[in-house]
Structure 1
């Protein structure tokens, strides 16, 4: 699918932070997504209850940045349940690509996006927040998402 560059403003996210070995993320992320879906009514000021975001830092600089966040976007933080987390992603510029297929193919999709970034002379910002915008995540064999890889 087509690739493009997009700028996003600050995003306020509320959800679940996952910490596990890298080889377990493919099975743990869907579990977190389903749990968050069931609890959406506990989160105030949700922008779009049917969209979820994954957030991560490729080369994290601290323990606080380690892991993968499964979240929904909110307009403001208010009365966040104690077992959920907040994450504010600053305004950033991204290389973006939309994909549909099995979640175990996401790394291949990233390889295509990274090649496009290189071919178009952009620089990846691995120390910044990267996003995945999930339109459909209930079936691991048929997810639909946009990859947002932070660039300069």
Structure 2
């Protein structure tokens, strides 16, 4: 059986503006996010039927800013993309992420490994003459997420 590389850099791409609906998670420290985000993802999956105008109900999207910018942007957003905002369900929030240029890494593995995988992406960005834009939204776009394996694109904003 052919072995699949768990990390593949796909290069630079423009990602259009995204309207997101889901949960905003704010923790005191990084360790807390590792516990709270998976739980929020599962609750969101169970409640996705409440969200109107879903674009792709199988693609969970995480959004965060790597640099502290302002209090209302703090935290991690666990969301689904929508065509338009309409009747946001109780306890959920909306977020608009503007169009941006991203360096993208495809990752296949467990979500608990994601933090260390970013090092590969950051190294690629530097080696290819780009600069990170940590004050802009970073996206984690999941095409598959389960207890044992996740498949996602890590999208780090660059200039």
TM-score range, shorter chain: over 0.9
Q: Residues 4-61 of structure 1: CA distance to partner in whole angstroms, max 9, x if unpaired?
A: 1010111000000001121111121111111001111100000001110000001121
* Secondary structure in 1 matching 2:37: helix
Q: How many pairs align? A: 151
| 2-structure distance, mates of 1:9, 1:103 | 25
| Residue 147 (1) aligns with residue 154 (2) | yes
> Which structure 1 segments of 5+ residues have no match?
none
Q: 1:58 matched to which residue of 2?
A: 66
Q: 1:19-58 maps to which residues of 2 (within 5 A)?
A: 19-20=26-27, 21-58=29-66
CA distance, structure 1, for counterparts of residue 126 and residue 10 of structure 2: 12
TM-score using structure 1 length: 0.96
Write out the 4+ residue segments of structure 1 that deviate beyond 3 Å after TM superposition. Answer: none
Whole-Å separation in 2 of the counterparts to 1:61 and 1:143 = 29
The whole-number CA distance in structure 1 between the counterparts of 2:98 and 2:45 is 25
| 2:88 paired residue among 74, 80, 92 | 80
User: In structure 1, the residue corresponding to 2:89 is in which secondary structure?
Assistant: coil
CA distance in 1, matches of 2:25, 2:95: 13
2:78 is matched with: 70
Deviation at 1:134, TM superposition (A): 0.8
Moved more, 81-90 or 100-109: 100-109
Q: Does 1:91 align with 2:92?
A: no
Residue matched to 2:126 = 118
- CA distance in structure 2 between the aligned counterparts of 1:132 and 1:2, rounded to whole angstroms: 14
Distance 2:14 2:100 in 1: 6
Quote the Cα distance in structure 2 between the aligned partners of 1:34 and 1:82.
16
Contact 2:9/2:121, CA 8 A, preserved across alignment: no
Given candidates 4, 16, 22, the residue that maps to 2:23 is 16
Task: Give the RMSD, CA atoms, in angstroms.
Answer: 0.9
